[in-house]
Each structure stands twice: as structure tokens, then as C-alpha cells.
Amino acid sequence: MNRYSNTSVKFNKKGQRVLKPTLYPTIPISDEDKFIRPVYGERLDNLAHKYYKDQSLWWVIAKANGLGKGKTALNPNFEIRIPGNITKILDDFNSLNR
């Protein structure tokens, strides 16, 4: 899944192409979530591939853990939440970005 596939292209008053901002859903804690301690050097895209079989879903893990833009390597001293109900999260994402 490409998270930009639903991003609208608009044109400003000068005729320049601009993209509509991508909106992300809130991801509440669920009983289906897993909590892990990443190994040294592990990245969000690796975890997304491991748990969702899709590395482009790294943003789900980032959003659920409040990780900012540009955060790549994870600290093994901190627990990371892996959201379990990925279908609902993607449905919420798609409904926000229509």
C-alpha cells in the first residue's frame, strides 16, 4: 500500500501543483496490540514488514508510538507498541484522505 496513493493534487492561484496534506488517524490502544523491545539498529520499516508484511506501513507504528518525522533507528531500551487491528487503521486512514 502506498500511503500517497490517495493524496489529491491541487493547483494554487499561481497554477503551481500542490499536494493536499495527508491526514493520519488516531490509533488507540487495543487488546490486539503487541509490545516489543526492538533490537539495536532496528527500524520502523523493518518492523512493519515483520508484523504487517508491508514495509510502507511504518507510519502506523510511528503514529502509535508518537515518533516524529525522521526517526529511523529505534532505541532498544524503550518498548514499542505494534498496533494489532491494521485493517481498521487503514480504513480510518482511507476515510480521512478521500
pTM above 0.75, yes or no: yes
Give me 50's grid cell.
515483520
Which three-class secondary structure state does DSSP give residue 90? Answer: helix
Q: Tell me the C-alpha distance between 29 and 32, whole Å.
A: 8
Q: Give, for 64, the enclosing helix (H) or strand (E).
A: helix 58-65
CB 48 within 8 A of CB 38: no
Phi, psi torsion values for 7, nearest 5 degrees: -75, 125
Q: pLDDT digits over 53-94, tens only?
A: 999 999 999 999 998 766 667 889 999 999 999 999 999 999
Q: pLDDT digits over 15-53, tens only?
A: 888 877 888 999 999 999 999 999 988 999 999 999 999
Output the pLDDT for position 57: 94
Output the pLDDT for position 84: 95
Q: Tell me the C-alpha distance between 67 and 78, whole Å.
A: 12
